[in-house]
Structure 1
Amino acid sequence: MGKDKLKRFAEVDTFSNVVQLEAGQPYKGKWSSDFFKNDSPVVLELACGKGEYTVNLAKLFPEKDLIGIDYKGNRIWRGAKTALEEGITNVGFLRIQIENLLDYFAPGEVDEIWITFPDPQPQISREKKRLTSPRFLEKYKLLLKPGGLMNLKTDNDGLHAYTAEKIEELGLKLHIKTEDLYHSPYANEVLNIKTYYEKKYLKDNKNINYLQFSFE
């Protein structure tokens, strides 16, 4: 492991806005009241990487509590550090495996979930690893409040099509579907947030897909 990564891991341990791999998660069911010290809606970004979307959503929606979730602490470091430096108090980061979400959040605790540019896991043998596979969707359904929204933004046409199929197969409610976000009527201030990787995709003239759906 490089010196920079080791330095970031050590620094993340000192960040007040990062929770790491805690057994018996003390904030389960109490993220707003005990972690953020308020009663605001909770919004998650899964596989948040460097936390660019998480931080920018927090800036746009100071009335909401944003939590970026990723397993790689050296990635979380960037978003957490930015939030601390800029005094953004409605954003936090949680370092866990996403498949363990139910250990860290109570049923109905979450208002909205974002998945932005996840690993598409294109091999058929890795379908269960896709963050929009039925096994993950079942977890999200438990966590979300009634009517809570799911958002998937991806450059991967295959993952977009796969997710749209699952929405139909499972009888979920589709709100928005587009294969070319920035040439659609849906490109608002929220969806115009661009991560480092998205900017690279756009330079290569890659289309950006977007889905918004709910479980009822």
Structure 2
Amino acid sequence: MGRSKLAKFAAIAERENVIEPGDERYGQLIGKWREQHFENDNPLVLEIGCGRGEYTVGMARLFPEKNFIGLDIKGARLWKGSTLAEEEELENVTFLRTFIENLADNFAENEVDEVWITFPDPRPRDRDEKKRLTSPRFLDLYERIIKPGGIIHLKTDNLGLYEYTLEVLQERKVKDLIHTSDLYNSDLQEHTMGIYTTYERRYLADGIPIKYLQYKVS
């Protein structure tokens, strides 16, 4: 591991806005994120695979009346988002460094109000279907921790993942599904709040339309 990554890992280990294995708070906030961590009763929004935290921080800026948690396993990526949040003194955003499979070890049933999945790895090979973040396996995890009526969002550049997800959701007969294969030429733009990730800007510059969908959890 290079010196830069080591320095970033060391930095996030000292930050109040990053929780990771080894931190005394890790796994101890189940059902208590609002009360014990954010110290309020505001809605809890989770970004899955947040990367550098651009979406998490962007939403936290726009909605100070909500709490935001960005989840990713890559510590060097979380360093960027946690740095931005720290510099801007955003008290409504935290980052959780863990595997997505560990959601149930960190959140109680019905604890989360909203889940965002932004530009995940599409895992195009058939043998990797179970690794797709919108496969039934992962949707079951999200739906366990999200409250009834909570919303799950997907934003992606990948047509294959978008179409696969629609098929999965239609089989599950989900509630209030809305979707578009060309977000910025649709009437659904307001749902994504004008927040662009670095990769998203690159896709748009290359003429790749952004796909978006959302549904409510029963």
Q: TM-score higher than 0.5 here?
A: yes
Which bracket does the TM-score occupy, shorter chain normalised?
over 0.9
Structure-2 residue corresponding to 1:55: 57
Structural RMSD (CA): 1.2
Q: Distance in 2 between matches of 1:215 and 1:59?
A: 26
State whether structure 2 residue 2 is matched by structure 1 residue 2: yes
Equivalent position SS for 1:121? coil
Note the C-alpha offset of 1:189: 6.9
Q: Distance in 1 between matches of 2:78 and 2:157?
A: 22
Note the C-alpha offset of 1:21: 2.2
Structure-1 residue corresponding to 2:122: 120
| Letter paired with 1:188 | E
| Letter paired with 1:27 | L
| Letter paired with 1:13 | A
CA contact (8 A) 2:69 2:96 kept: yes
Equivalent position SS for 2:192? coil
State whether structure 2 residue 209 is matched by structure 1 residue 211: no
Structure-2 residue corresponding to 1:18: 18
Q: Distance in 1 between matches of 2:146 and 2:189?
A: 24
Equivalent position SS for 1:188? helix
| Letter paired with 1:136 | F
TM-score (norm 1): 0.97
* Structure 1 residues without counterparts, runs of 5 or longer: none
Structure-1 residue corresponding to 2:133: 131
Equivalent position SS for 1:131? coil
Q: Distance in 2 between matches of 1:172 and 1:187?
A: 21
Show structure 1 runs of 4+ deviating over 6 A: none
CA contact (8 A) 2:147 2:217 kept: no
Q: Distance in 2 between matches of 1:191 and 1:174?
A: 19
Structure-2 residue corresponding to 1:44: 46
Note the C-alpha offset of 1:3: 1.2
CA contact (8 A) 1:167 1:174 kept: no
Q: Which moved more, 1:20-29 or 1:99-108?
A: 20-29
- Percent of pairs with identical residues: 51
Change over 3 Å in CA distance of 1:105–1:44 after alignment to 2: same
Structure-1 residue corresponding to 2:106: 104
Note the C-alpha offset of 1:176: 1.6
Structure-1 residue corresponding to 2:87: 85
Structure-2 residue corresponding to 1:161: 163
Q: Distance in 2 between matches of 1:29 and 1:90?
A: 17
Deviations 1:52-108 (A, max 9, x none): 000010111111100000000000000001001101000000000001101100000
Deviations 1:96-141 (A, max 9, x none): 0001101100000000000000001111101110111001111111
Note the C-alpha offset of 1:215: 2.5
Note the C-alpha offset of 1:186: 1.1
| Letter paired with 2:49 | A
Q: Distance in 1 between matches of 2:21 and 2:211?
A: 32
Change over 3 Å in CA distance of 1:189–1:169 after alignment to 2: closer
Q: Distance in 2 between matches of 1:185 and 1:66?
A: 26
Q: Distance in 1 between matches of 2:148 and 2:175?
A: 12
| Letter paired with 1:208 | I
| Letter paired with 1:12 | I
Q: Distance in 2 between matches of 1:75 and 1:169?
A: 34
Q: Distance in 1 between matches of 2:98 and 2:193?
A: 26
Q: Distance in 1 between matches of 2:113 and 2:191?
A: 19
